[in-house]
Chain A
Amino acid sequence: MFRFLFDRDTWQEVFDSLSKNKLRSILTMVGVWWGILLLIGLLGSARGLENSFNRLFGSFATNSVFVWGQSTSRPFKGFQEGREVKLSLSDAKNIEKNVEGIEFVLPRSQTRVTATRNFLSGGFQMAGDYPLLDQLQKKKLIHGRFINQNDIDDNKKVVAISEDAYKQLFEKDEEAIGKYIEINGINFTVIGLFEVGNVNMGPSTDMHIPFTTFQQIYNRGDRIGWMMITGKPEYDIKQIEEDSKLILKNLNNIHPKDTQAFGSFNLGKEFAKLTGFLIGMQFLTWFVGIATLIAGVFAIGNILLITVKERTKEIGVRRALGATPFEIKRQIVVEAVFLTLVAGVLGIITGGWILILLDHFFGQGADAAIVNASVSIAVVFIALLILVALGTLIGLIPAFKATSIKPIEALREE
């Protein structure tokens, strides 16, 4: 059998009979070609979309939950209901120490401020932050730097401002780094200018100053606005949220079943939904692609069936000359597999071109909708393997049809 595959005569026969009717062969191939082109195009774009999501969210620590204090809804340990809950730095430290699977706990404070510079002013959201924020929620800095540990240690009056804030407070093309702006009557040095991303987690912030500076200026002492709890990737963020809330309730004398005391936003849960959507899309892509492929392979089977009918007489002659039914079947199956394989390879190549085009038109720049649209080699090989298997199966139908007719009847056919 293997010798047969490497025999020049085999391929001469296949090539002869396929090139005899070029139109027929080409039409046959279009079906499979189109199927694999769609499969690769769709899979590639799905991957590209996934990549672009990953790029959008890649700068966030997605396994995170935000927690803030609200007010209690149940009386507990002598406290009345409706008591305002305030989180503190020690709460954050406690969680970091006691909850299993914690990566970081990042306390933040936030307030609304009015900033002025010369005759320009505006209202902004300002947050007091640790340098760690830059790791959890990557800031795209255009100029300068983000807050560092020195700023925290020395309670420095420095600020990183957003592009929007820059536009409101500075003239066009004016250098901002090193300049002073006045925030609620206190002068701050601008150290960084950052771009606001497309996706924002939590309240959007126009200005970041060192956490310690914030606490000092607003006399917050130990109290913090909210905290961002990030779990290690292998831990379930929902469990971490529950554990953390339980500890917080314990520390703050809140009824364990009080659901109103703390507000939270579970980024990990939301992100999981998005990932689920992407998985669904990939499944759909595979489904559509494979269905199209199967349709294409059936088209090949169909045309081969017609071909066999057309070639009944030729097959009769070959059998009169001593071709065994096996040899006839083998030839038809090889023709089918050859057609599917060539069409498949062409489909893979043109599918690659489509992905290149997609990348060229939609994949450029930072905000591209499709990032690095691609299909893994393994997928390509699996698709080819499926093609060959289906090609063989579908080739068997006309092959059996061809040899089911008696040679004498085949010869009588005109």
Chain B
Amino acid sequence: MLKINQLHKSYPIGDSSLHVLKGIDLSVEEGEMVAIMGSSGSGKSTLLNIIGMLDEADSGEYILDGLPIKNLTEKKAAVYRNKFLGFIFQSFNLINYKNALENVALPLYYQGMKRKERQEKAMFHLEKVGLADWAKHLPKELSGGQNQRVAIARALAANPKLLLADEPTGALDTTTSYEIMAFIQQLNDEGKTILMVTHEEDIANMCKRIVRLRDGVIMEDKKVEQVRAEQYV
């Protein structure tokens, strides 16, 4: 599904440069649910951004679903993002003047799907996250948990191969966090490959595998016994 070899990335800071990723090797199989952990500055977000094609590595190899991701033009990156990847952000990143349904339909719009088909599909995904009744509401009229569910529906809308979540529960209280995790686990049960960045142990333990980063290298990579989130809800 995903294969990374000797990935390096550094950011220039003034005259010197900050070496953030120092040779990462990682491979993820289809259907896995991986948590990337690490303190801040460990490079976990950078890694996720490179995997999400929002950022580019300086050197190393990155193959997504058999497709080498290298020297992409902005246009090609956009098409790949749209086709292969679904993003879930810590701060939801919904467009504040569009209602829930329109937000979910946005990736489909960029796929060039017809309006009616798009709306039907978006509605289907909203139903799946249990927000069909809130379809016409703006993000500011929804709670944090509801907003994150809209964002998940949006990430799912284009039927991506890989779901990338950057601290998906970072802005939520514990109960809501577990609710969201229950959703994500359910998606994984249905076969979606999920990669998430978190710094909370309990959230990480709800995944099937934990990768720990420190100072730009992988410290630990282990499979864990998945803690089901439903029991806390």
With contact pairs A322-B78, A322-B158, A325-B78 given, residues A317 and B115 touching in the complex (Cβ less than 8 Å)? no
A16 to B98: give the CA distance in the assembly, Å.
8
Q: B82 — which chain A residues lie within 8 A by C-beta?
A: 321-322
A327 to B106: give the CA distance in the assembly, Å.
13
Specify which of B55, B81, B95, B115 is in contact with A322 (CB 8 Å cutoff).
Answer: B81
Report yes or no: A8 in contact with B78, Cβ–Cβ below 8 A: no
Interface presence of B75 (CB below 8 A) = yes
Q: A364 — which chain B residues lie within 8 A by C-beta?
A: none
Report yes or no: A321 in contact with B55, Cβ–Cβ below 8 A: no
Report yes or no: B78 in contact with A9, Cβ–Cβ below 8 A: no
Q: A403 — which chain B residues lie within 8 A by C-beta?
A: 74
Interface presence of B79 (CB below 8 A) = yes
A72 to B81: give the CA distance in the assembly, Å.
98
Interface presence of B178 (CB below 8 A) = no
Report yes or no: B110 in contact with A327, Cβ–Cβ below 8 A: yes
For A310-322 the 0/1 string (1 means CB < 8 A from B) is 0001101111111
Secondary structure class of chain A's binding surface, majority of residues: helix
Report yes or no: B54 in contact with A408, Cβ–Cβ below 8 A: yes
For B42-66 the 0/1 string (1 means CB < 8 A from A) is 0000000100101100000000000
Q: B106 — which chain A residues lie within 8 A by C-beta?
A: 318, 321
A9 to B93: give the CA distance in the assembly, Å.
21
For residue A278, give the distance in angstroms from its CB to the closest CB of chain B: 51
With contact pairs A322-B158, A325-B78 given, residues A16 and B109 touching in the complex (Cβ less than 8 Å)? no
For A68-108 the 0/1 string (1 means CB < 8 A from B) is 00000000000000000000000000000000000000000
Q: How many residues of A contact B (CB 8 A)?
A: 25
Q: A257 — which chain B residues lie within 8 A by C-beta?
A: none
For residue B186, give the distance in angstroms from its CB to the closest CB of chain A: 22
Q: A109 — which chain B residues lie within 8 A by C-beta?
A: none
Interface size class of B (residues with CB under 8 A): 20 to 34
A407 to B74: give the CA distance in the assembly, Å.
9
Q: Which residue of B lies closest to A322 (CB)?
A: B82
A244 to B111: give the CA distance in the assembly, Å.
82
Near B by CB (< 8 A), chain A positions 343-368 give none
For residue A311, give the distance in angstroms from its CB to the closest CB of chain B: 9
Interface presence of A114 (CB below 8 A) = no
Specify which of A319, A327, A411 is in contact with B89 (CB 8 Å cutoff).
Answer: A411
Q: B89 — which chain A residues lie within 8 A by C-beta?
A: 411
Q: B74 — which chain A residues lie within 8 A by C-beta?
A: 324-325, 403
With contact pairs A16-B97, A411-B89 given, residues A321 and B110 touching in the complex (Cβ less than 8 Å)? yes
A322 to B89: give the CA distance in the assembly, Å.
15
For residue A30, give the distance in angstroms from its CB to the closest CB of chain B: 22
Interface presence of B154 (CB below 8 A) = yes
For residue A326, give the distance in angstroms from its CB to the closest CB of chain B: 7
Interface presence of A26 (CB below 8 A) = no
Report yes or no: A313 in contact with B98, Cβ–Cβ below 8 A: no
A20 to B139: give the CA distance in the assembly, Å.
14
Q: A318 — which chain B residues lie within 8 A by C-beta?
A: 95, 106, 110
Report yes or no: B95 in contact with A317, Cβ–Cβ below 8 A: yes
For residue A323, give the distance in angstroms from its CB to the closest CB of chain B: 5
Report yes or no: A313 in contact with B78, Cβ–Cβ below 8 A: no
A327 to B95: give the CA distance in the assembly, Å.
17
Of the A-B pairs whose beta carbons lie under 8 Å apart in the complex, a sample of 26, sorted by A's number, is: A8-B115, A317-B93, A317-B94, A318-B95, A318-B106, A319-B78, A319-B81, A320-B52, A320-B54, A320-B87, A321-B110, A322-B78, A322-B79, A322-B83, A322-B110, A322-B111, A324-B79, A325-B74, A325-B78, A327-B78, A327-B110, A403-B74, A406-B54, A406-B55, A408-B49, A411-B89
Give B residues with C-beta under 8 Å from A: 49, 52, 54-55, 74-75, 78-79, 81-83, 87, 89, 93-95, 97-98, 106-107, 109-111, 115, 154, 158
Given contacts A320-B93, A321-B82, 7 further A-B contacts (CB under 8 A): A318-B106, A320-B52, A321-B87, A323-B78, A324-B75, A325-B75, A326-B75
